[in-house]
């Protein structure tokens, strides 16, 4: 069907003229990327080239491949065609589809915002707002007179956090202020546009400031994600303090917490977790809070999909497969391995996620071989072993 398409590419306009039953739309990005957002009715198939090489791909099917911007998918199409498969690449990839979808939605912003807010108050109140408010109360994250910089990266988590804070503000049990802060570390044009369009559509009045972090870490070979994340946090603290804020809020959720806890043991040989709040060591008087601490990622994705929302996956413009810039420098593959491990364990023990989360709330120091105190001083069980 696709033999006559120039350069093995197909445009969105050409795609619209073909009935969906005549092809399979394949997202060749990794599973995490697909979960962050994908073209409707597409199939995640990052191993499509391996399947083609092994001959396990259906030769009677026509395939349309896409990645983030249409570069990796074009290479994959060349490989598939060399094995005799009928395939083309979606020109511009997922990014081009996002741009087109936003253009269609511009005229419907007011109704969209109302629908999203209604979904938080009704359908997703127990799954999203209740654990959001519970986390804030349980860990004492917000006090009267606070001015909080709600840090928006452009992904589903931080955008939902902004809407939940607006809802919390609406209840207004005590006065506090919000600033919705977006740092542009060198976004691609598409990523910047997606963030601004989403903020406008959702009624989030963002304050944007620019940095050159991506350029600064471009040549770094060892742990560029770690350095990028640390630099981002520093810039966020600095800008927030300049705006008169005393706290920054990040969008890490419950699943981030348990994955980080398990990854520390499996990959870092240490027991530590992602704290619900922290005092800044470099910016006096500033504090970091994580209000989404008790919110499940599955519920965030259900809210996103229910409302037909599409967010950026990763701010990084150097690669289409980076899932997020993690402070611990761990790769997307390690985080996915941990996600899959937890999912496998859950089939045996349905309480495994809660147990991982609770484990760092129930630490018994008398059974710990060695630990560090808040000053970094090591203490061994042998220090006091013979004193009794």
Spacing of C-alpha 86 from chain mean position: 34
d(CA 223, CA 45): 28
Q: What is the pLDDT of residue 276?
A: 97
DSSP 6: G
Q: What is the pLDDT of residue 317?
A: 46
Asked if 88 contacts 65 with a C-beta cutoff of 8 angstroms, the reply is: yes
Q: What is the pLDDT of residue 318?
A: 46
User: What are the residues whose beta carbons fall under 8 Å from the beta carbon of 29, sequence distance 6 or more?
Assistant: 44, 46, 67, 68, 94, 320, 321
Q: Strands 247-249, 287-289: parallel, antiparallel or unpaired by DSSP?
A: parallel
d(CA 29, CA 12): 19
DSSP 7: G
| CB-CB neighbours of 341 under 10 Å | 15
| CB-CB neighbours of 366 under 10 Å | 6
Backbone angles phi, psi at 103, to 5 degrees: -60, -35
d(CA 88, CA 80): 9
Asked if 252 contacts 153 with a C-beta cutoff of 8 angstroms, the reply is: no
d(CA 97, CA 90): 9
Q: What is the pLDDT of residue 320?
A: 40
d(CA 253, CA 50): 34
Q: What is the pLDDT of residue 106?
A: 61
Cα dist from 32 to 40, 44, 157, whole Å: 16, 10, 14
Ordered per-residue pLDDT tens for the chain, 388 residues? 776 555 689 999 988 889 989 999 999 998 888 887 899 999 999 999 999 999 899 999 999 999 998 999 999 999 999 998 999 999 999 989 988 877 666 667 778 899 999 999 999 999 999 999 999 999 999 999 999 999 999 999 999 999 999 999 998 788 999 999 999 888 878 888 889 999 999 999 999 998 877 766 666 666 566 677 788 889 999 999 999 999 999 999 999 999 999 999 999 899 999 999 999 999 999 999 999 999 999 999 999 999 999 888 765 544 444 444 444 445 567 888 999 999 999 999 999 999 999 999 999 988 999 999 888 899 999 998 888 6
pTM of the model: 0.76
Q: What is the pLDDT of residue 34?
A: 87
**Max Cα–Cα distance, the chain, nearest Å:** 84
Per DSSP, the residues of 152-180 read --SSHHHHHHHHHHHHHHHH-SS--EEEE
- Helical segments of 122-248, H only: 130-138, 156-171, 189-202, 213-217, 224-242
Cα dist from 85 to 23, 55, 133, 385, whole Å: 12, 10, 52, 69
d(CA 185, CA 166): 25
Among 61, 84, 41, 89, smallest CA distance to 1 is for 61
Backbone angles phi, psi at 179, to 5 degrees: -125, 125
First to last CA, the chain: 82
User: What are the residues whose beta carbons fall under 8 Å from the beta carbon of 300, sequence distance 6 or more?
Assistant: 128, 156, 157, 160, 253
- Token readout for 192 is 């910047």
């Amino acid at each position: 069907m696709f033999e006559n398409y120039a350069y093995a590419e197909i445009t969105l306009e050409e795609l619209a003229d073909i009935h969906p039953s005549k092809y399979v739309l394949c997202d060749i990005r990794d599973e995490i990327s697909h979960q962050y957002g994908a073209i409707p009715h597409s199939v995640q198939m990052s191993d499509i080239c391996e399947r083609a090489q092994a001959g396990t791909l259906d030769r009677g099917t026509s395939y349309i491949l896409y990645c983030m911007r249409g570069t990796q998918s074009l290479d994959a199409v060349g490989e598939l065609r060399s094995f005799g498969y009928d395939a083309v690449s979606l020109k511009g990839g997922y990014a081009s589809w996002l741009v087109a979808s936003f253009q269609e939605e511009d005229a419907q912003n007011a109704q969209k915002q109302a629908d999203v807010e209604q979904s938080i108050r009704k359908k997703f109140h127990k799954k999203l707002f209740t654990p959001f408010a519970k986390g804030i109360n349980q860990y004492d994250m917000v006090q009267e007179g606070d001015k909080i910089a709600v840090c928006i990266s452009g992904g589903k988590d931080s955008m939902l956090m902004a809407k939940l804070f607006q809802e919390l503000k609406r209840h207004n049990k005590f006065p506090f202020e919000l600033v919705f802060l977006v740092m542009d570390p060198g976004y691609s044009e598409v990523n910047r546009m997606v963030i601004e369009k989403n903020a406008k559509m959702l009624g989030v009045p963002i304050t944007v400031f620019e940095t050159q972090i991506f350029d600064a870490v471009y040549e770094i070979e060892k742990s560029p994600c770690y350095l990028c994340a640390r630099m981002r946090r520093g810039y966020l603290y600095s800008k927030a303090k300049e705006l008169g804020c005393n706290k920054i809020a990040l969008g890490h959720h419950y699943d981030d917490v348990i994955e980080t806890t398990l990854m520390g043991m499996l990959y870092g040989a240490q027991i530590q977790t992602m704290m619900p709040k922290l005092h800044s060591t470099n910016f006096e008087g500033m504090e970091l809070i994580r209000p989404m601490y008790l919110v499940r990622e599955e519920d965030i994705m259900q809210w996103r999909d229910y409302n037909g929302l599409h967010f950026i996956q990763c701010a990084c413009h150097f690669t289409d497969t980076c899932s997020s810039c993690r402070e611990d420098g761990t790769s997307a593959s390690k985080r996915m391995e941990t996600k899959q491990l937890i999912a496998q364990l859950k089939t045996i023990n349905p309480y495994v996620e809660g147990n991982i989360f609770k484990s760092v709330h129930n630490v018994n120091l008398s059974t710990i071989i060695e630990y560090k105190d808040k000053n970094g001083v090591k203490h061994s069980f042998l220090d006091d072993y013979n004193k009794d």
